[in-house]
Structure 1
Amino acid sequence: MPIDESLVPLLALINSPQVPKLGTGEPVQARANFRGLTVDLRDPSTLPAVAAVEDVTIDGPGSTPLPGRIYRPEAGGPVPTIVFFHGGGFVLGDVETHDDHGRWLCREVGAVVVSVGYRLAPESPFPGPVDDALVAVRWAAARISDLGGDPDRLAVAGDSAGGNLAAVVAQDCRDAGGPALAAQLLLYPATDFAGDYPSMAENADGYFLTESDMIWFTTHYVPSGADPGDPRLSPLRGRLEGLPPAVVATAGFDPLRDAGDAYASALGDAGVRTITHRFDGLIHGFFGLGPVSPASEEAVRTVCASLKQLLRPAGSADR
């Protein structure tokens, strides 16, 4: 399948000499560049409406304050709670760059969303973001009555690097005996730092996320001497039995496509209920591209509908 035609003008802009690549220069400048591609280009009128948005402080490891943002849906009564981790290669991004992601999940799933601003590499390399993600989920679980209100419908979600963190958190919560998770949403996740996959070469350049970006991100996130097969880095290398049901979404023109597909397949082989979506004509980051790509917006709605299905109240009928 060719790339979706609605993405061609965007890729022409991204690939132009005037636009800096994601993984170039110093992290501080790269973060500003990423903000320019997200927040600065965003039309506020395209943001999904939700009932309320509140900026909060999450108590991180050792009482380290972490920025968070809570999105509340129009629906009343107990609703699911989704703890969301943003993408950006563990080096870029924050709750503001992914404001649209939190809003889409909140509105389409009908859930309270807690977006977490975990600490970034290289200032906080692995396992710093993992530690932050774990503490943030426990923070949300302890406040579930003030958030969504349903302790049986707590989920984790993330895109790219955030998908990695969501997968790692799901494994840790199972091994630690809680908090119990009802579902996990992994959007084009980074699942394996130790493997070699054809899609990394096939989509090495020209489709937003590049192979060189991944090398730059890895250099900043993974300390020298760390084992790339550590399940907290590469959740594909971990034990997958007994994990919560999952939605895994990948894109055809994405260097991370094959690793994400491998994780979805491994989850199914381990007996985990897994809903898999491969959007062959789309690129990495499609969850934020709805305003310029109708196909991406349709993919967002499809993914959210699948997560909503997994988060139905116990005993409710399939619809």
Structure 2
Amino acid sequence: MTRRRGAQELAQAAVLKGVLALPGSVRRRLTSAHGAHGQWLANDVRLMLRLMQLAGEPGPETLPVDEGRVAMARQTAAAGGRRRVASVRDLRLGEGDDALLARLYVPRSRLLEQTAPTLLFLHGGGFVFGDLETHDGACRFLAEEAGVRVLAVDYRLAPEHPFPAAHDDAWAAYRWLLEHPELVGADLDRLAVGGDSAGANLAAHVARRAAAEGLPLAFQLLVYPITDATRTGGSREAYAEGYYLTGGFIELAERSYTPDPVSRTDPRMSPLLADDVPDGLAPAHVATAGWDPLRDEGEDYGYALQRAGVRVEVRRHPSQIHGFLNTVGVAPTSRLAVREVAAALKEALG
């Protein structure tokens, strides 16, 4: 069962939702306009960042890892909402110590169907943070908006489990789904893999390996993915401070999950650096945020796949920051952006 939210999380959610529900004219008086490089940061996103600053909400990367994980869970619970779905069920993929925790979301539109289009979802968090709880709101929203079953999977985190542990777990989850579709009602002809940030990196790995091995996959949904762990400059430099995902967070993630710098050039970690694109790679939707350090590499990966003949839609959301997938419960513009992401998934899986 999903974890019940504490009083602090509920209070933060109420404040965020209340302030961001104020008329636009009132919100604009509470913050100043912010634009650069030909794009404007959404008013509700600016206000949300300002409220977090006033509340003294620490960045997870500024805390010891265990405390940072708690902080991220609190922040995402406050912002993610709790969209109603038909059912939510926790399960284990596999047996024994190697079993992975997972959670199945069934939308109301698919409750009576024995099999349905299914998204294997891998959460973000820099390979260090994140779990089934941090992305509960996002998975609920995607399930209902796209009309697909969502199987969210936990995987081992760094620094306890460095590269390639998370990639191995993502592949194991995909193989489990292929072998046991009846346990979650998955239609293997309408199967997608997706995730955000680090989770999108894992999803890209699963898609590439599935194509290389000739296994079924209809679509990949990549939301602000990490695609080049060696990247510097560009958006990584321009948006390194002040927009939730910081340069310090990225440095911690790289140091924790890839302590050996050589592993950052591995195609699993940096698919943009891969020598080739496997034949039969699933079509993709790549969503990026205008004010995100990972923006450039995500878009570069999408365009590289296009040049290789893969059907890819690259969609930048210019008013958003990294993490907009997790703020669907409070930020109207973020909700609109994620609704577009869900629409792409819905169209791809029919």
Paired amino acid for 1:59: G
Q: Which moved more, 1:208-217 or 1:195-204?
A: 195-204
Q: What is the alpha-carbon distance in structure 2 between the residues aligned to residue 307 and residue 219 of structure 1?
A: 33
SS of structure 1 residue aligned to 2:190: strand
1:229 maps to 2:230:
no
Question: What corresponds to 2:189 in structure 1?
Answer: 152
Please, what TM-score do these two structures have when normalized by structure 1?
0.92
Question: What corresponds to 2:144 in structure 1?
Answer: 107
Q: CA deviation at 1:278?
A: 0.4
Deviations 1:179-204 (A, max 9, x none): x1100000011111123340011101
Question: What corresponds to 2:3 in structure 1?
Answer: none
Conserved 8 A contact 1:14-1:208: no
SS of structure 2 residue aligned to 1:227: helix
SS of structure 1 residue aligned to 2:341: helix
Q: What is the alpha-carbon distance in structure 1 between the residues aligned to residue 164 and residue 266 of structure 2?
A: 11
1:11 maps to 2:49:
yes
More helix by share: 2
Q: What is the alpha-carbon distance in structure 2 between the residues aligned to residue 190 and residue 16 of structure 1?
A: 30
Larger Rg, first or second structure (1 or 2): 2
Question: What corresponds to 2:281 in structure 1?
Answer: 243
Runs of 5+ in structure 2 lacking a partner?
1-38
1:219 maps to 2:255:
yes
Q: What is the alpha-carbon distance in structure 1 between the residues aligned to residue 153 and residue 161 of structure 2?
A: 15
Q: 1:49 aligns with which of 84, 88, 95?
A: 84
Q: CA deviation at 1:25?
A: 3.0
Conserved 8 A contact 1:105-1:304: yes
Conserved 8 A contact 1:197-1:259: no
Q: Which moved more, 1:107-116 or 1:251-260?
A: 107-116
Q: Which moved more, 1:115-124 or 1:14-23?
A: 14-23
Q: What is the alpha-carbon distance in structure 1 between the residues aligned to residue 60 and residue 226 of structure 2?
A: 16
Q: 2:160 aligns with which of 110, 114, 123?
A: 123
Conserved 8 A contact 2:60-2:67: no
1:258 maps to 2:296:
yes
Conserved 8 A contact 1:48-1:104: yes
Conserved 8 A contact 1:50-1:107: yes
Paired amino acid for 1:64: D
Please, what TM-score do these two structures have when normalized by structure 2?
0.84
State the aligned residue count.
307
Deviations 1:263-318 (A, max 9, x none): 11111111111122100010001111122221111111111101111111xxxxxx
Question: What corresponds to 2:35 in structure 1?
Answer: none
Q: Percentage identity across aligned positions?
A: 43
1:196 maps to 2:232:
yes
SS of structure 1 residue aligned to 2:181: coil
